[in-house]
Amino acid sequence: MAGFLSDLRVVEVSAFIAAPIGGMTLAQMGAEVIRIDPIGGNIDYRRWPLAPTGTSLYWTGLNKSKRSVALALHKPEGREIARALICAPGEGKGILLTNLPASGWMSHAELSKHREDLIMLRLTGNHDGSGAVDYTVNCASGFPTATGPGGDPVNHVLPAWDIAAGLYLATGLLGAERARRQDGRGREVTLALSDVMLASVATLGYVADVQVNDSVRPAMGNDLYGAWGRDFPTRDGRRVMVCAISNRQWQAVGKATGLTDKIAMIGPMLDVDLNDEGGRFEARHAINAVLAPWFARHTLAEIGEAFAGTGVLWGPYQDFGQLVREDARCSTANPMFTTIAQTGVGEILAPAVPLGFAERAPAAPAPRLGEHTEQVLAEVLGLTTCAIGKLHDAGTIAGPKE
Amino acid sequence: MAGFLSDLRVVEVSAFIAAPIGGMTLAQMGAEVIRIDPIGGNIDYRRWPLAPTGTSLYWTGLNKSKRSVALALHKPEGREIARALICAPGEGKGILLTNLPASGWMSHAELSKHREDLIMLRLTGNHDGSGAVDYTVNCASGFPTATGPGGDPVNHVLPAWDIAAGLYLATGLLGAERARRQDGRGREVTLALSDVMLASVATLGYVADVQVNDSVRPAMGNDLYGAWGRDFPTRDGRRVMVCAISNRQWQAVGKATGLTDKIAMIGPMLDVDLNDEGGRFEARHAINAVLAPWFARHTLAEIGEAFAGTGVLWGPYQDFGQLVREDARCSTANPMFTTIAQTGVGEILAPAVPLGFAERAPAAPAPRLGEHTEQVLAEVLGLTTCAIGKLHDAGTIAGPKE
C-alpha cells in the first residue's frame, strides 16, 4: 500500500495557526512537511500557553510531525537555501505553503523561475493583501453581536477562522497538486482569512437573510436558532446542553423527562406546531419553562442515566480541566490519542489527524527548532557534511539548541 | 489546462452543515458533486433562515454548485439507483461522502461489493459511532466556559466544529483519492465531529496546559490571551477590536493614538516588559486604562483615519446587517462574490470557494431538489427516457416540483 500522501513534500514558511494547521494536517496524513523558520524561531515561537521550561505548548501543538529547518532568512545565503528546498525537483515536491508576506524572493513569480511547475499556497489577511487576523476578521463577521445574551458583543475564543483557513489551505494544496499531475502546470492559490469568514457567513444564509428578509439575526443566548435546544443548570451545579433537531430527538426529550403530556399543552396554548422545528423555536420559552425544573431537580449523573439510550442529543458543559480529567474521549481510550514525549514539555496527550483511515499514524512530537536542518540539507539538497559545516560556521543555518 | 478537480465525481448523501460544506467546497473547486436526497428532501431541507417563499436560505447556501437527485431511499429500488450512482465506474469516480448512519446497504463493506476500490468518507458524532452535533460537542470543548465575561458558559453561534469537519472531509477525500491513484485501493475514511473538537483543543495547547501546568484557561471577556488586544467603545456608539501581536504592531498603536509616552510608563510601574507579548498580556488592564479614553473621544470614522496606513491591526464590530450593507469586502467589489439568481430566493450575493486560483469559477446556485435526477440517471447510468419514465411513475425517483 502506497499510504496516504506518500511522495508529497510541502515546504512551510509560516507562523501562528492557519498555515501551520494546514501543514500539520498534511503531515499527520503522511506528507513530508518541512517547516522553515528564521534562526531563533519565528514570531509565534514563544506564544502562550507555555510549559514551565518556557517551551510553547501552542507552537509544539501546531507543528507536530513536521521537520524543522532553521535558516538565516534575512541573508541572501539563507534565502537561497530556502529557495532550493522549495524548488527541489521531483513529482509531489515543489510546493510552498505560507502565510508570510510573499513578496520579493518568496513571490510565486520569482520562485517559478527556479521551478516552473511550482505550487504555492498563500494566506493573506484580506483579498487585497492588507492585514487581518482572526480577531479583526471575527469582529466584522456579525457573530460576536449574535453571541451571548445580547448587549456588548462577545468574541469567540476558539480561533475558528484560522482553523477553517488552515483546512482550506490543505484542501487547496491537494487540489492544486492533483491538477498538476494532470496538466503539469504549477499554480498560485491564494486565500484571504476574511474571505473564509465572508464565505461562511454567506453559506449559512445570514447574508441572504439580510438581503431577502431585511432580517439581522440577534443574540439569543444559548438558544438554538430555528430549532429547539438550550442549556439548563442541574441540581449539583453543573450545566447541560440539550437539543432536538429531528422529530424523533424531540419526542425523546419528552419521553426521557416524563414531560410529554405537559409539553403537548404548549402547541394549542401558543398555536404552534411542535412537530415542526420552526414551531419549537417559536415556542422555546414555554418549552424551556416546562423543562427547566426537571433539570434543576436532577444531578448531572441522574440526567445521564435518564437520557442513556433514549436518543436525546445532550452533553455536559466542561471547562478545559474537566475535558481533560473527566471526558473519556479525551484520553488514550480514544484511538486518535496517544501519549507522546515532547521536548521541553514532557509526556502529554497528543492527537493524530482526526481523519480515521487504515494507515493513520499516531501523533508524533513537534521538532525542536532546527532539529532537521542538517538532515534535510543533506537529503534534499545533497550537501556534504563539509558544506553543511561551513554554512553552520557562517551562521547561515542552525541546528537545535543543546 | 485540465482544471481543478476535473474528472472527480463525489456522491453526497448528507444533511445539515458538515458533509454539505465538504461537498460544496469540492464542487466549487471544479468537482462534479451529486447530492442524493429522499424525495421531498432530507431533514435539513426546511432549516431556517427561510426566504418568504419558504425556501431555505441555509440549504441553498450550503448546496451551491451541486447536482440534485431525488430518490425513494426507503425502497429497495431507490437504494439500488443510489448504489449504482455511488459505484459507477471510472477513475476519479466511486466516491461517497456522507454524514448519515452508514449501515446496511450504505456501509463500506456492502458498497465495496459493487466497486472494490470505493472511497467512502463518513462523518459520525463520536468515534464510537454515537450521536453528537455541533452544540453537544461544543459544550464539552471547554470554550463556552472560557467565552464571555465569565459566569455562565456562552455557546458560540458560528457552527465552527461543523465547518472544520466539512473541510477535514474535503481534505481526507482528496487524500484518499490521491492514494487510490497510486495503489488502486479503496478506503473508508471516518471522522468524528467530537474528534475535530478534541484535536483542535489539544493542538492549541489547552490540553497540555492542564496536564503540564494544571492550569485551566478562564474566561477573560474580549481580551486576547497571551498577547495584547481587546474591544473599545467609540464616541459614536460603535465598537472596535484592536490588537497587537508583533512588536511593530504594538508600537503602531502608541504612535497612532499619540500615547506612546504614557504607555511607556506602564512597564516600570508594573515591572513588566512591554516589548514582550506576554508582558503586554500581564499589563493589559493598565494598557486598556490608558487607551480607552482615546477611543471614547473619537468616532469610528476618526479612528479609521488615525489608523490608516499605520500597521495597527483593528476592525469595527458589525452585525450581519452592517456586514452586508457597509463592508465592501461583502460585495461584488470582492472577486469572490457574484450576484446569482437562486430559485425561490431571488438575486443574492453568493461566494465562490474562498481559495483563489486561475480557474476558479464564480458561485453557481444550489439546484432545485431533484433538478438533475433525470439528467444524472441518463448520463451516469445510461438509462433511457423510457426507463426513467417508468421509475418516475413508480415513485422511485422524482424531478423538481413545478
Give residue-wise pLDDT tens across range B42-61.
999 999 999 999 999 999 99
Q: Is the Cβ of A389 closer than 8 Å to some Cβ of chain B?
A: no
Say whether pLDDT at B96 is over 80: yes
Across the interface, whether the CB atoms of B52 and A213 are under 8 A apart is answered yes
The residues facing A67 across adjacent strands are A34
Interior angle at CA B397, CA B394 and CA B401, nearest 5: 110
Residues of B in contact with A58 (CB under 8 A): 204-205, 226
Out of A43, A148, A337, whose CB is closest to B148? A148
* pLDDT tier for residue B3 given thresholds of 50, 70 and 90: confident
* pLDDT tier for residue B343 given thresholds of 50, 70 and 90: very high
Out of B57, B147, B191, whose CB is closest to A354? B191
Catalytic residue among B128, B134, B152, B162: B162
Judge contact between B235 and B252, C-beta under 8 A.
Answer: no
pLDDT in tens, B316-332: 999 999 999 999 999 99
> Which residue, among B1, B134, B139, would best test binding to A if mutated, counting the most A CBs under 10 Å from its CB?
B139
pLDDT in tens, A58-76: 999 999 999 999 999 999 9
Least confident piece of the model among A95-104, A391-400, B152-161, B341-350:
A95-104
* pLDDT tier for residue B402 given thresholds of 50, 70 and 90: low
Across the interface, whether the CB atoms of A320 and B167 are under 8 A apart is answered no
Considering only CA atoms, which of B400, B401, B155, B49 is closest in space to residue A277?
B49
Q: Which helix (H) or strand (E) holds B190?
A: strand B187-192
pLDDT at residue number B2 = 56
Say whether pLDDT at B248 is over 90: yes
Residue B265 CA to residue B285 CA, distance in Å, equals: 14
Across the interface, whether the CB atoms of B329 and A52 are under 8 A apart is answered no
pLDDT in tens, A276-318: 999 999 999 999 999 999 999 999 999 999 999 999 999 999 9
The residues facing B32 across adjacent strands are B9
Across the interface, whether the CB atoms of A174 and B175 are under 8 A apart is answered yes
pLDDT at residue number A402 = 64
DSSP state of B254: H
d(CA B210, nearest CA chain A) in Å? 6
pLDDT in tens, B210-230: 999 999 999 999 999 999 999
The distance of Cα A298 from the centroid of its chain, to the nearest Å, equals 36
Beta-strand runs (E) in B280-391: 313-316, 337-342, 346-351
Catalytic (active site) residue B162: yes
Could you say which residues from 64 to 83 on chain A have a Cβ atom under 8 Å away from some Cβ of chain B?
64
Within 8 A by CB and 6+ apart from B397, the residues are B39, B69, B70, B71, B72, B78, B81, B370, B373, B374, B377, B388, B391
Residues of B in contact with A178 (CB under 8 A): 4-5, 8, 174, 177-178
Say whether pLDDT at A85 is over 60: yes
Say whether pLDDT at A110 is over 70: yes
* pLDDT tier for residue A103 given thresholds of 50, 70 and 90: confident
Residues of B in contact with A189 (CB under 8 A): 355-357
Q: Kindly state the cell numbers that stand for A392.
A: 553552520
> Which residue, among A323, A338, A343, would best test binding to B if mutated, counting the most B CBs under 10 Å from its CB?
A323
Across the interface, whether the CB atoms of A355 and B168 are under 8 A apart is answered yes
Considering only CA atoms, which of B1, B157, B149, B54 is closest in space to residue A217?
B157
Say whether pLDDT at A3 is over 90: no
* pLDDT tier for residue B68 given thresholds of 50, 70 and 90: very high
Q: Which residues of B170-183 are buried (b: 16+ CB within 10 A; e: fewer)?
A: bbbbbbbbbbbeee
pLDDT in tens, A369-402: 999 999 999 999 999 999 999 999 999 999 998 6
Could you say which residues from 86 to 105 on chain B have a Cβ atom under 8 Å away from some Cβ of chain A?
none
> Which residue, among B171, B183, B185, B295, would best test binding to A if mutated, counting the most A CBs under 10 Å from its CB?
B171
* pLDDT tier for residue A2 given thresholds of 50, 70 and 90: low
pLDDT at residue number B102 = 83
pLDDT in tens, B374-398: 999 999 999 999 999 999 999 999 9
Which burial class, exposed, middle or buried, applies to A267 when counting CB atoms under 10 A from its CB (0-12, 13-18, 19+)? middle
Out of B190, B320, B353, whose CB is closest to A210? B320
The total of other beta-carbon atoms located within 10 Å of residue B260's CB is 12
Out of A3, A168, A211, whose CB is closest to B355? A168
Average pLDDT of the residues of chain A? 97
Q: What is the 3-state secondary structure (H, E, C) of chain A?
A: CCCCCCCCEEEEECCCCHHHHHHHHHHHCCCEEEEEEECCCCCCCCCCCECCCCCEHHHHHHCCCCEEEEECCCCHHHHHHHHHHHCCCCCCCCEEEECCCCCHHHCHHHHHCCCCCCEEEEEECCCCCCCCCHHHHHCCCCCHHHCCCCCCCCCCCCCHHHHHHHHHHHHHHHHHHHHHHHHCCCEEEEEEHHHHHHHHHHHCCHHHHHHHHCCCCCCCCCCCCCCEEEEEECCCCCEEEEEECCHHHHHHHHHHHCCHHHHHCHHHHHCCCCCCHHHHHHCHHHHHHHHHHHHHHCCHHHHHHHHCCCCCEEEECCCHHHHHHHCCCCCCCCCCEEEEEECCCEEEEEECCCEECCCCCCCCCCCCCCCCHHHHHHHHHCCCHHHHHHHHHCCCEECCCC
Average pLDDT of the residues of chain B? 97
Catalytic residue among A162, A209, A276, A319: A162
d(CA A213, nearest CA chain B) in Å? 7
Residue B74 CA to residue B114 CA, distance in Å, equals: 20
Query: Which whole number is the average pLDDT over B279-305?
Result: 98
Give me the helix-helix angle, B284-297 and B247-257, nearest 10°.
40
Residues of A in contact with B331 (CB under 8 A): none
* Residue A247, CB-side half-sphere exposure with 13 Å CA sphere: 7
d(CA A219, nearest CA chain B) in Å? 9
Q: Is the Cβ of A185 closer than 8 Å to some Cβ of chain B?
A: yes
Residue B361 CA to residue B4 CA, distance in Å, equals: 10
Say whether pLDDT at A176 is over 70: yes
Q: Is the Cβ of B239 closer than 8 Å to some Cβ of chain A?
A: yes
pLDDT in tens, A6-22: 999 999 999 999 999 99
Which burial class, exposed, middle or buried, applies to B43 when counting CB atoms under 10 A from its CB (0-12, 13-18, 19+)? middle
Residue A160 CA to residue A141 CA, distance in Å, equals: 12
Is it true that the peptide bond before A49 is cis, omega within 30 degrees of 0?
yes
pLDDT in tens, A337-370: 999 999 999 999 999 999 999 999 999 999 999 9
Coarse DSSP helix, strand, coil percentages of chain B, rounded to the nearest 5 percent: 40, 15, 45
C-alpha distances (whole Å) from B26 to each of B95, B303, B344 are: 12, 40, 24
Across the interface, whether the CB atoms of A211 and B348 are under 8 A apart is answered yes
The total of other beta-carbon atoms located within 10 Å of residue B269's CB is 10
